[in-house]
Amino acid sequence: MINKKLAAWVEEMRALCTPDRVHWCDGSKAEYDRLADETVAVGAANRLDPERWPHCLLFRSDPSDVARVEERTFICSKTREDAGPSNNWMDPDEMKTLMRKSYRGCMKGRTLYVIPYSMGPIGSPIANIGVEITDSPYVVVNMHVMTRVGTKVLEALGEDGEFVRAMHSVGAPLAPGQKDSSWPCNPDIQQKFITHFPDTREIWSYGSGYGGNALLGKKCHALRIASVQARDEGWLAEHMLIIKLTNPAGKSIYVAAAFPSQCGKTNFAMMEPTLPGWKVETIGDDICWMKPGPDGRWRAINPEAGFFGVAPGTSMKSNPNAVRTVQRNTIFTNCVLTPDQGVWWEDMTDAPPSKGVDWQGNEWTPASGKKGAHPNARFTAPASQCPVIAPEWEDPAGVPISAILFGGRRASVVPLVTEAFNWQHGIFLGSIMGSEMTAAAFGTVGTLRRDPMAMLPFCGYHMGDYLAHWLRAGQMTSPDKLPRFYYVNWFRKSADGKWLWPGFGENSRVLKWIFERLEGRSEATRTPIGQVPAAGTLDLSGLDLDPENQTELLSVDRAAWLAEIADIRRYYAKFGGHLPRELAEELDAMERRLKEKSP
Ligand code: OXD
Ligand code: MN
């Protein structure tokens, strides 16, 4: 028996968008294969060499449609106040009136697909159901990989269950007889809309077919809408990877970590530790939903079922487990097509292919000096294919989190690892975290963007209230059950601009110190900003690290921190009356400690 609200909503959208056909997705492999074949047959995708890249597809997007569009992303809460200073806002009724005009007749000549999906293992008390309506077969096949799709979700939803309504159109109706383009979308950036209605748990997306703009289970549902659900219901929806960390004695803990986009989350989630006997296994690489469990510990699931990872830079050196994951059943977007029907991207191998077809469909050679793959080219691959996926990654009960890490790219100021004094101090450190912009992101290269808990582009309500919610979460279970917070920075540089820390698998040394801190076996030194590893407690064995670098990596530069205080105050001022008093007090206390002679 179909859910009544779902049937009514699909009919309403069908009548508005007037597609030629409606297809309810069952989530089967046959459905995936049929749609994949159709996209190849109409020239929208290339099938890769079946021997070397079995069941892999390559799509090329329109040049106007290559990334998330934050400037066209809106949080349409009832009041502007609730959306806060970091989100674009429009009145929900006004936005819907505007968008209904775009949606009217927008699916002419196309099929309307109904995709029932579950974020998280079906039936998990932490999971949540959504239904995406789309006119893009590319979206359907990607959703098959990234979420759990189909009839089993409809069964779990039942006749009266609640679901997130996720409406999407590429915004490119077809006139009778009109030939379709290989990547239909609305090329006018001002006509793209990624809108959220948190109060009614709805997403309306129009004009883009790419990534987070179109695969609505990911950033739109699992972060922007879910963060509001989490606020209202007493849980946490976060932009965090989740790993299982096992020591040489076979004891395991689970760690979540928030890093802004482009700071190596996928690499960290699949890390191969350099320290002998230590093991990292993946639970998730991007999103973490956490609820207090029956034992009072915060239990986390990865709501996704796949990885939508940035391809350029992914190599056997930077992330061998990602390379192994994407060998089959993978959808590539905006990579180079090689002459032997394979894919390539910058820094995948030391030697590039002699020639290929670039992400815009043009003949390409490395000698051209142009990039062959778009810097935001992606792979969509099933998480189950990751060689280091943890066996319990789909446990409906979730995994208990012992530590939460956060950090961004900071060339100076922030030490390699700092342990927070307590929960409140941890939220304070999370609230001031930030990252220096990279060339691949918008903004001026090198300028610092503060990005609390890496949620700035993904929080569906006022950031000040979000921080208050984190403070409340600390009261939901007994203090001894709470995870501990660690502020990390792999990107510190020396005065002459050289990396102080090798990163990648060597980050396992920091994980070891954290593991031992949690067991009460490792010493820390109190500083004005938090606790850093005491001399000799960070395992640097076998690492050729200059003793000067070692000192600088963990040093707390009081003058530099004092100089940050003014910047933090300016940034906190944007939160107005929504800034939790506790955080303003933490800032004052840090300033006092920095000005004292000793910590
Ligand atoms: C992502 C992002 O794609 O954070 O995961 O931008
Ligand atoms: Mn992300």
Q: How far apart are CA 569 and CA 388, in angstroms?
A: 42
Closest to 195 measured CA to CA, from 289, 305, 102 = 102
What DSSP string describes 170-201? -S----TTPPPPSS-----GGG-EEEEEGGGT
Best of 66, 216, 259, 286 for a ligand 1 pocket test (most atoms within 8 Å of beta carbon) = 286
Going from the Cα of 286 to the center of ligand 2, the distance in angstroms, rounded, reads 5
Going from the Cα of 443 to the center of ligand 1, the distance in angstroms, rounded, reads 16
**What are the backbone angles phi and psi of residue 577, rounded to the nearest 5°?**
-70, -5
- Nearest-atom number in ligand 1 for the CA of 260 is 4
The H or E element that residue 325 is part of is helix 320-325
Quick one: which ligand is closest to 240's CA? 2
DSSP type of residue 51: T
468: number of Cβ within 10 Å: 20
Strands 164-169 and 202-206: parallel
Ligand 1 pocket check for 286: Cβ under 6 Å: yes
Can you tell me which residue has the tokens 């927070």? 420
Residue 447: per-residue pLDDT: 84
Tell the residue nearest (CA) to atom 6 of ligand 1. 261
Going from the Cα of 229 to the center of ligand 1, the distance in angstroms, rounded, reads 21
Going from the Cα of 116 to the center of ligand 2, the distance in angstroms, rounded, reads 23
DSSP type of residue 335: P
| Beta-sheet strands, E only, within 516-572 | 524-527, 530-533
Distances (CA, A) of 44 to 256, 301, 333, 393: 38, 34, 11, 33
Residue 96: per-residue pLDDT: 98
DSSP type of residue 223: I
Strands 128-134 and 164-169: parallel
The H or E element that residue 563 is part of is helix 558-573
State the first-to-last Cα distance of the chain, in angstroms, to the nearest integer: 65
| Catalytic residue flag (residue 263) | yes
- Nearest-atom number in ligand 1 for the CA of 310 is 3
Ligand 1 pocket check for 261: Cβ under 6 Å: yes
Closest to 348 measured CA to CA, from 379, 381, 308 = 379
What DSSP string describes 77-92? -SSHHHH-TTSB---H
pLDDT tens sequence for the chain (599 residues): 789 999 999 999 999 999 999 999 999 999 999 999 999 999 999 999 999 999 999 999 999 999 999 999 999 999 999 999 999 999 999 999 999 999 999 999 999 999 999 999 999 999 999 999 999 999 999 999 999 999 999 999 999 999 999 999 999 999 999 999 999 999 999 999 999 999 999 999 999 999 999 999 999 999 999 999 999 999 999 999 999 999 999 999 999 999 998 889 999 999 999 999 999 999 999 999 999 999 999 999 999 999 999 999 999 999 999 999 999 999 999 999 999 999 999 999 999 999 999 999 999 999 999 999 999 999 999 999 999 999 999 999 999 999 999 999 999 999 999 999 999 999 999 999 999 875 444 455 568 999 999 999 999 999 999 999 999 999 999 999 999 999 999 999 988 889 999 999 999 999 999 999 999 999 999 999 999 999 999 999 999 998 888 899 999 999 999 999 999 999 999 999 999 999 999 999 999 999 997 65
Going from the Cα of 253 to the center of ligand 2, the distance in angstroms, rounded, reads 23
Residue 175: per-residue pLDDT: 97
Write out the residues surrounding ion ligand 2, Cβ under 5 A: 286
Closest to 88 measured CA to CA, from 224, 244, 195 = 195
Best of 219, 267, 435 for a ligand 1 pocket test (most atoms within 8 Å of beta carbon) = 219
Asked if 589 contacts 424 with a C-beta cutoff of 8 angstroms, the reply is: no
Tell the residue nearest (CA) to atom 2 of ligand 1. 261
Q: Report the C-alpha dihedral over residues 71, 76, 81, 82, rounded to 10 degrees.
A: -110
Quick one: which ligand is closest to 213's CA? 1
This prediction has a pTM of: 0.97
The H or E element that residue 519 is part of is none
Q: How far apart are CA 226 and CA 198, in angstroms?
A: 9
Burial group, residue 240, by CB count within 10 angstroms (0-12, 13-18, 19+): buried
Strands 252-258 and 530-533: unpaired
**What are the backbone angles phi and psi of residue 353, rounded to the nearest 5°?**
-65, 155
Asked if 258 contacts 453 with a C-beta cutoff of 8 angstroms, the reply is: yes
Asked if 333 contacts 318 with a C-beta cutoff of 8 angstroms, the reply is: no
- Nearest-atom number in ligand 1 for the CA of 212 is 3
DSSP type of residue 222: I
Catalytic residue among 56, 106, 185, 263: 263
- Rounded (10°) angle between helices 92-103 and 4-17: 60
Residue 547: per-residue pLDDT: 87
Read off the tokens for 521. Answer: 């076996």
Q: How far apart are CA 62 and CA 44, in angstroms?
A: 11
Closest to 211 measured CA to CA, from 291, 125, 286, 128 = 286
Q: How far apart are CA 272 and CA 239, in angstroms?
A: 22
**What are the backbone angles phi and psi of residue 193, rounded to the nearest 5°?**
-135, 125
Closest to 260 measured CA to CA, from 404, 379, 409 = 409
Best of 68, 263, 304, 378 for a ligand 1 pocket test (most atoms within 8 Å of beta carbon) = 68
Going from the Cα of 332 to the center of ligand 2, the distance in angstroms, rounded, reads 17
Tell the residue nearest (CA) to atom 4 of ligand 1. 261
**In terms of DSSP H, where are the helices of 474-546?**
508-518
